[in-house]
Amino acid sequence: MSTITKIALGKNGPLVSKLGLGCMRMSSVWGGPAQDESESIATIRMALDSGINFLNTGDFYGSGHNELLVGKAIKDRRDEAFVSVKFGAIFHGGHWLGLDLRPIAIKNFINYSLVRLGIETIDLYQPCRLDNSVPVEDVIGTVADLIKEGKVRHLGVSEITAEQLRKAHNTYPVSALEIGYSLADRQIETDLLPTAKELGIGVVAFANTAEGLLTGEMKAPLAANAYQNHFPRFQGENLINNLEKVEVLKKMAKEKGYTPTQLAIAWVSAQGDTIMPLVSMSRRSRLPENIRAMEISFTPEEMNALNTNFSPGAIVGNTYLQR
């Protein structure tokens, strides 16, 4: 298995792997079952062995379970891991209640995260989202204070607008923007991505397969219990239209000797040296496939074919990424 190259996370930022490991699905999410803990820990350690040092978690993933899991996996390997933590989401009984971004809450969240992770400093700390409940300057200013205290190394932000990104960066330098990005979800190319590039902010891109749409394995109609059914993109004629678009990706993948998932990840990576695909996995068996995706290159003709077939708006129907 090849190792992963390193990139700077933002302008003059820390060196991190070009591929990131999303740990969310290792815990119970939205009331679903948690994965096998020993396998999840082995997956994180194998990722570290392969040069993937960027580990993404959240204090609300499994009500702290995910941080405990990551903490176990990086015990005695702290220097090899770059730990990214999201905060601010409030859940109860598996249901989303909203955000708590008050400075007093953030100062409380960080201490619990450090204890669960078993570390003294979080490498990247970020609000999972921003709303109008607390001024951006107060949220970012609180994280800046935590950086001065030595509890956090770098500031990140997630799922925000270009205007909010500028405001955050003016308050304290932002190292990374975490945002959904894929062939099927290209809305950030209009203003958010150019703003991040202008400001020298790295991009951590999740949902590379657009919630399974780009895996090439989805068929219409979906199973009745599939969570994707909640989103217009996966309903009725929308899904039929969207799966027709995916046929182009499937054909190209077959011709190149890869899977559609690998091409979807590779496309995201190819959008810039400062863009990191963040791939969620909970089994070691998934690692070789995802790492191989980073070796894929596209000819100008292939890239043009993908960009034309998946031009903005080509995939119809919204998802949670288009709030």
CB neighbourhood size of 123 (10 A)? 21
**Backbone phi, then psi, for 176, in 5-degree steps?**
-145, 145
Q: What is the pLDDT of residues 60-116, one digit of tens each?
A: 999 999 999 999 999 999 999 999 999 999 988 878 899 999 999 999 999 999 999
pLDDT surpassing 70 at residue 15: yes
At 122, which helix (H) or strand (E)? strand 122-127
Q: What is the CA radius of gyration of the chain?
A: 19
Which is higher by pLDDT, 83 or 321? 83
Q: Which one of 61, 125, 181, 258 is the catalytic residue?
A: 61
Place of tokens 């932002």: 174
Could you confirm whether 112 is annotated as catalytic?
no
**Token digits for 187?**
């809305």
Torsion sign across C-alpha atoms 103, 138, 142, 157: positive
Torsion sign across C-alpha atoms 322, 294, 245, 221: negative
State the average pLDDT for the chain.
94
CA separation, residue 227 to residues 24, 209, 241, 320 (Å) = 16, 15, 19, 12
Could you tell me how many residues make up the chain?
323
pLDDT at 31: 60
Closest CA to 117 of 79, 148, 73: 73
Domains of the chain: 6-211+266-297 (3.20.20.100)
The string of DSSP codes covering 206-240 is E-TTTTTGGGS---SSPPTT-GGGGSGGGSHHHHH
Q: What is the pLDDT of residues 199-253, one digit of tens each?
A: 999 999 999 999 999 999 999 999 998 889 889 999 999 999 999 999 999 999 9
pLDDT at 4: 85
Closest CA to 242 of 208, 209, 214, 206: 214
Q: What is the pLDDT of residues 160-172, one digit of tens each?
A: 999 999 999 999 9
Burial of 282 (0-12, 13-18, 19+ CB in 10 A): buried
Torsion sign across C-alpha atoms 239, 279, 285, 288: positive
Burial of 143 (0-12, 13-18, 19+ CB in 10 A): buried
**Backbone phi, then psi, for 114, in 5-degree steps?**
-60, -40
pLDDT at 2: 55
CB 157 within 8 A of CB 178: yes
Is the pTM higher than 0.85? The answer reads yes
3-state secondary structure of 245: helix
